Chains A and B, each alone.
Chain A
């Protein structure tokens, strides 16, 4: 158990819909990362927050947005969903903003039908 909690574990929705994925980092970790894992594109970095502020941005679509709240949990919002958004979305956390030693949650599997 990494200490990172993600909900929901599984989500099935239709194209055009909007979903919110939630992540609670390890106790004491200030940095949260979101990654997307799909068969065709592998693991792709989406975005990083540190203590509520955006610190790094990857290939995150404009239809996607994220935020980190004062209690350090984070949410990833995916809107106008397309079939290609079906993937496993991982949240990871770390105590510092510039370390590659990340602790990953078990992921939220999104299926868009």
Chain B
């Protein structure tokens, strides 16, 4: 089965860039996702990347995909205190008529002043 791994914690200073890394194992994954979970809330989709892309930029967010190494990263530019949250990467597996997302363990980002 799929196994998606992330480092557990990341601490950065406000205004710096944050880089959250993820490794996945299913080479057939077509889409990879980044979700954000704030305290006491559900997950919120941030961005996604199609597997034939190397990079996708969306405002302060940059997603890099290295398909050869099965490595995905999320860079947040000019990190703000409001970015403090848990970030999950996820890969999609198509299953017959549906799909399931396999989520990583989550990386807790702490932004310090």
Q: Which residues of A contact B (CB under 8 A)?
A: 2, 4, 31, 33, 42-43, 45, 48, 50, 53, 55-58, 90, 92, 97-107
Contact = CB atoms under 8 A, between A and B. Distances in A.
A47 B106 CA distance: 21
B43 interface: yes
A41 to B, nearest CB: 10
B90 A100 contact: yes
Closest 5 A/B residue pairs (Cβ): A55-B98, A104-B42, A56-B98, A43-B103, A100-B92
Nearest to B30: A100
Contact of B48 (A2, A43, A100): A100
A55 B96 contact: yes
Nearest to A2: B42
Given A99-B99, A100-B48, A104-B44, 12 more contacts: A4-B42, A31-B98, A43-B43, A43-B103, A48-B98, A48-B99, A55-B97, A58-B100, A90-B43, A92-B42, A98-B98, A103-B45
Interface of B: 31, 33, 40-45, 48, 88, 90, 92, 94-106
9 contacts: A45-B100, A55-B99, A56-B99, A58-B100, A90-B43, A97-B98, A98-B98, A98-B99, A100-B90
A50 B95 CA distance: 13
Nearest to A9: B40
Given A100-B31, A106-B42, A42 B101 contact: no
Contacts of A31: 98
Contacts of A104: 42-44
Nearest to A58: B100
Contact of A50 (B41, B44, B90, B97): B97
A37 B83 CA distance: 21
B96 to A, nearest CB: 7
